[in-house]
Amino acid sequence: MPNAPRRLKPAELARELEALPLWALVNNGTAIARSFTFADFAAAFAFMTRVAEAAERADHHPDWSNSWNRVNITLSTHSADGLTPRDIALALEIEKLF
Ligand SMILES: C[C@H](O)[C@H](O)[C@H]1CNC2=NC(N)=NC(=O)C2=N1
């Protein structure tokens, strides 16, 4: 990765999260999470495929789970032990892919 990830300060984070109203801060504010619901498993898995491709392009990967038509996604920057602009960027891209 070209630059070491920089953890967002609480005020920066609050401003960024205004664009992600359906994402919640979790894990003591070190991650954001959202649940996505689809018509069926095929639609959920197609979404996961799109997200996986975006994550590979960004070299930034979700922590996630799937149960039939539901996909739960948690984003954090493991190397920074918290939230960085890379998490915000991936969350915004995931919203477009939904
Ligand atoms: C070597 C590779 O760049 C790192 O392991 C990347 C890969 N994907 C990652 N994804 C996330 N969410 N956090 C990271 O710190 C991270 N690090």
User: Is the whole-model pTM more than 0.90?
Assistant: yes
Element (H, E) at 92: helix 85-97
47-98 tens-digit pLDDT: 999 999 999 999 999 999 999 999 999 999 999 999 999 999 999 999 999 9
Spell out the domains of the chain, with CATH numbers in brackets: 10-97 (3.30.1360.20)
DSSP states of 3-66 as a string?
S---PPPHHHHHHHHTT-TT-EEETTTTEEEEEEE-SSHHHHHHHHHHHHHHHHHHT---EEEE
7 Cβ inside 6 Å of ligand 1: no
Q: How far apart are CA 19 and CA 70, in angstroms?
A: 22
Tell how far the Cα of 60 is from the centroid of ligand 1, in angstroms.
5
Residue 63 alpha carbon, nearest atom of ligand 1: 12
